[in-house]
Chain A
Amino acid sequence: MSALADLLSWILLGAGSFFLVVGAIGLVRMPDVFTRMHATSVSETLGVGFILGGLMIQGGFTLVTFKLVCLFVLLFLTAPVASHAIARAAMADGVEPILDGPEIDARDGDDLPPLGFTKKVTTAIDASDAEASASVIVEDETVNTGEKR
C-alpha cells in the first residue's frame, strides 16, 4: 500500500466521518420528520459512500473490495427508497410538514397537493426585447398574502 493511496483513503474516511456526524446531529436538531429525513439522507449517501470508498482503497483488488462494492450499491439503492416510503407514510398519516411563511392550511378539504405546487407562475416571452424575456409575472396574487386558496 503506497503512501498516496493511504492518504487518499484517509481523506475519504475523514470526509465520510464528518458527513456521518453532521447527519446524525441534524437528526437530533431538526424540527420535523421531513427535515430529519433530509439530514439522514446526507449520512446515508455521502457518509456511507465516502467511508466505503475509503475502505475500498484499503482493501485493494480483493474479494473484500467486491463485497464493499456490493454493499455500496445496495445501500445506495435502498436508502432513498426507504426515505421515500417513510415520507409517503408520514404524509398519508397526516403529519404536517412545517412550511415557511404564514400559517396556511395546505390540506383543506380537497385532494390537491400541498401549497407550494399550486403557485401559478407565467413567464412572459417577448421575442423583440431580450431583457423583458426574463420577466416573470405572478398571476395568482393570493399566494403571497397568506389567504387560503
Chain B
Amino acid sequence: MNPQIRSIADLDRVIHEPGRLMIAALLFAVRRADFLYLQHETGMNKGTLSSHLSRLEEAGYVAVTKTYRGKVPQTLLCLTGAGRKAFEQYRRNLKEAL
C-alpha cells in the first residue's frame, strides 16, 4: 500500500472525530483541566462534551476524577499516558498524510 494512504488508514478514529480532537489537543497541553474549561474552550454543550469524554474514557485516553471545589462538584480530566501517545502518533500520521 502507498505509505501516504497507509498513514491515512492508520489515523486513530477515536481521536480523528473533530470534537474529540479538540478535547485531546486541549488536554495534551495541560496537566489537567475541568469540564467547565473544556466546555468554554470548545463551545460544545454539556451533553455533546460528556458523550465525547465518555468515548475517550472508554478508549483509555482520558482519566476522569470527580471532586468538589468548596461545595461545587468539579469534574477533572487529564490525558492518560496512552492518550498522550495516541495523540502524538495521530499528529505524526496526519503530517505524513498531508
The finding on whether chains A and B are genuine partners in a shared complex, rather than unrelated, reads no
Which residues of B pack against A, CB within 8 Å? Answer: none
